[in-house]
């Protein structure tokens, strides 16, 4: 990556040798990304990140379908990159079905089947949920989609690098990816597009990425993303096992030592790195700040543009009460997380929860 900021500074679209050197790096990265999801390199379109990949998938597919009365299906726990895109399409006249999820946070493939209409042009269901880690039954959903002849887009941002991804086994037509979830720098991602998928571009101005995404490629970012994919592929199995053990350690300690707590989506298939725990009677926003001041970075809901916290649409979709949604925290474990850190976190949680519950009794 560093070489692409200096020696290999060429524009990958240029004919001269500087450009060609950059192009070689770009294509090597494309092979690395494709390898991680068992796709062919030509099916990978680089983007600025997961949000752009999701936008390209939704707007590009609806536009390419060219139907005056198009219909799309999404789930209620999608990332805002999908939900807000769907809302915009709705304003533009597209019919949108937003599927509910079970109390465990999973989409019912049978529900997808029932929602399909003759004019359905796209189904978009995420692979793993960002707040819960719950993994959706994508293979089952893709069977339903394929039988009906409807393309399936899967937002894989939270799953890539955490669980094995094979676009053929999953049966997806489009798959969104984000580099920084695999420790690449921020600002790079990709959209997998199965060969033959008809997608209209949403930006114009160049022939980059086979006319699917114009704009000079972020070569340093893409090269780093490729390297991150290769690393993730090598370490995925062992790292998943390690993270799952740490997550279980966290959850078991919390459940054992603190009363009035529960893990959302606990009995679903989950990615190993995410845990969403509610602490009854505790204000999640205050807890995030209290923990941050003690050096632990956790989150709740999703931050809005000012940085203030709003109640999570994912937790309310699960059927959690507004109070419980507000008392929920999301824990994300990563490559650098150790058992000692988890134990220290549990100590801090125990103290903070006791303190906050004592205060709210007086309030």
Partner 1 sequence: MSGGVDSSTVAALLVRQGHKIVGMTMQLWNQRRLPELAPETAGHGRCCSLDDVYDARRVAEQVGIPYYVVNFEQQFEEQVVQPFVEEYLAGRTPIPCTLCNNYIKFDRFLEMADSVGAHQIATGHYARVRYDDASGRYQLLRARDGSKDQTYFLFGLTQKQLARTLFPLGEMVKPEVRELAREMDLAVASKGDSQEICFVPNGDYAAFLNAYLKDKGVEPQSTRGSIVTTDGRTLGEHEGVHHFTVGQRKGLGISSKEPLYVISTDSQTQRVVVGGNDDLLCGRFIARQLNWISIAGVTAPVRAQVKIRNKHAAASATILPTADPACVEVIFDEPQRAVTPGQGAVFYDGDLVLGGGWIG
289 binds partner 1 (CB under 8 A): yes
Check residue 363 for interaction with partner 1 (CB under 8 A).
Answer: yes
Nearest residue (CB) to partner 1, 90 versus 292: 292
Concatenated DSSP letters for 17-61? HHHHHHHHHHHHHHHHHHHHTT--GGGEEEESSHHHHHHHHHHHH
Shortest approach of partner 1 to residue 289 CB, angstroms?
5
**304 labelled catalytic:** yes
- Determine the size of the site formed for partner 1 (CB under 8 A): 20
Asked if 118 touches partner 1 (CB under 8 A), the answer is no
- Phi/psi at 73 (5° precision): -120, 130
Q: Near partner 1 by CB under 8 A, which window of 25-33, 48-56, 183-191, 354-362? A: 354-362
Question: Considering 4, 98, 229, 304, which one is annotated as catalytic?
Answer: 304
Q: Quick one: 242 or 355, whose CB is closer to partner 1?
A: 355
Report the C-alpha gap between 125 and 155 in whole angstroms.
7
Tell me the backbone φ, ψ of residue 154, rounded to 5 degrees: -125, 125
Stretch that binds partner 1, among 30-38, 233-241, 262-270, 279-287 (CB under 8 A): 279-287
- Figure out which of the listed residues 143, 242, 266, 355 binds partner 1, where binding follows CB under 8 A: 355
* Alpha-carbon span 72 to 268, nearest angstrom: 26
Choose the stretch contacting partner 1; rule: CB under 8 A; options: 39-47, 120-128, 195-203, 287-295: 287-295
Residue found under tokens 């109640």: 311
Count Cβ neighbours within 10 Å for each residue of 306-324 and write b for 16 or more, e otherwise. Answer: eeebebbbbbbbbebeeeb
Q: Which is nearer to partner 1, 201 or 284 (CB)?
A: 284
The verdict on 321 binding partner 1 (CB under 8 A) reads: no
**353 counts as binding partner 1 under rule CB under 8 A:** no
Measured from the CB atom, is 306 or 336 closer to partner 1?
306
Query: Is residue 222 involved in binding partner 1 (CB under 8 A)?
Result: no
Quick one: 5 or 322, whose CB is closer to partner 1?
A: 322
Q: 153-182 in b/e burial notation, b at 16+ Cβ within 10 A?
A: bbbbbbbbbbbbbebeebbbbbbbbbbbbb
In the structure, how many helices (H) and strands (E) does the chain have?
Answer: 11, 12
238 binds partner 1 (CB under 8 A): no
Q: Classify residue 71 as left (phi > 0), alpha (psi -120 to 50) or beta.
A: beta
CB 159 within 8 A of CB 128: yes
Question: 137, 163, 161: which is closest to 271 by C-alpha?
Answer: 163
Q: Least separation, in Å, of the C-beta of 133 and partner 1?
A: 25
Residue 306 binds partner 1 (CB under 8 A): yes
Q: Closest CB to partner 1 among 139 and 359?
A: 359
User: What's the N-to-C CA distance of the chain in angstroms?
Assistant: 54
Site residues (vs partner 1, CB under 8 A): 283, 285-287, 289-290, 292-293, 304-310, 355-356, 359-360, 363
Active site residues: 304
């Amino acid at each position: 990556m560093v070489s692409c900021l200096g020696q290999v500074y060429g524009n990958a679209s240029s004919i001269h040798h500087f450009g060609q050197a950059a192009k070689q790096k770009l294509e090597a990265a494309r092979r690395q990304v494709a390898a991680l999801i068992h796709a062919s390199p030509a099916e990978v379109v680089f983007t600025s990140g997961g949000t752009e990949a999701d936008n390209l998938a939704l707007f590009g597919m609806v536009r390419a379908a060219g139907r005056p009365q198009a219909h799309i299906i999404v789930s209620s726990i999608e990332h805002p990159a999908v939900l807000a895109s769907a809302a915009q399409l709705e304003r533009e006249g597209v019919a949108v079905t937003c599927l509910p999820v079970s109390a465990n946070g999973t989409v019912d493939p049978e529900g997808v089947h029932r929602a399909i209409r003759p004019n359905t042009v796209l189904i978009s269901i995420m692979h793993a949920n960002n707040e819960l880690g719950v993994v959706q039954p994508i293979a089952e959903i893709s069977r339903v989609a394929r039988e009906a002849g409807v393309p399936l887009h899967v937002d894989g941002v939270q799953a890539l690098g955490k669980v094995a991804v094979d676009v053929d086994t999953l049966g997806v037509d489009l798959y969104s990816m984000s580099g920084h979830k695999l420790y690449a720098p921020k600002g790079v991602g990709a959209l997998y597009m199965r060969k033959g998928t008809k997608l209209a571009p949403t930006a114009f101005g160049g022939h980059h990425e086979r006319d699917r995404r114009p704009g000079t490629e972020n070569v340093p970012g893409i090269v780093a993303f490729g390297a991150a994919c290769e690393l993730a592929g090598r370490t995925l199995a062992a790292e998943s096992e390690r993270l799952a053990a740490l997550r279980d350690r966290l959850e078991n300690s919390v459940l054992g030592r603190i009363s009035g707590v529960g893990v959302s989506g606990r009995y679903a298939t989950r990615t190993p790195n995410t845990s969403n725990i509610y602490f009854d009677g505790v204000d999640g926003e205050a807890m995030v700040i209290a923990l941050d001041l003690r050096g632990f970075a956790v989150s709740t809901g999703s931050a809005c543009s000012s940085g203030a916290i709003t109640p999570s649409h994912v937790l309310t979709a699960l059927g959690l009460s507004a109070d419980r949604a507000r008392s929920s925290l999301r824990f994300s474990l990563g490559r650098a997380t150790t058992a000692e850190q988890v134990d220290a976190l549990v100590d801090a949680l125990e103290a903070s929860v006791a303190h906050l519950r004592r205060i709210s009794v007086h309030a």
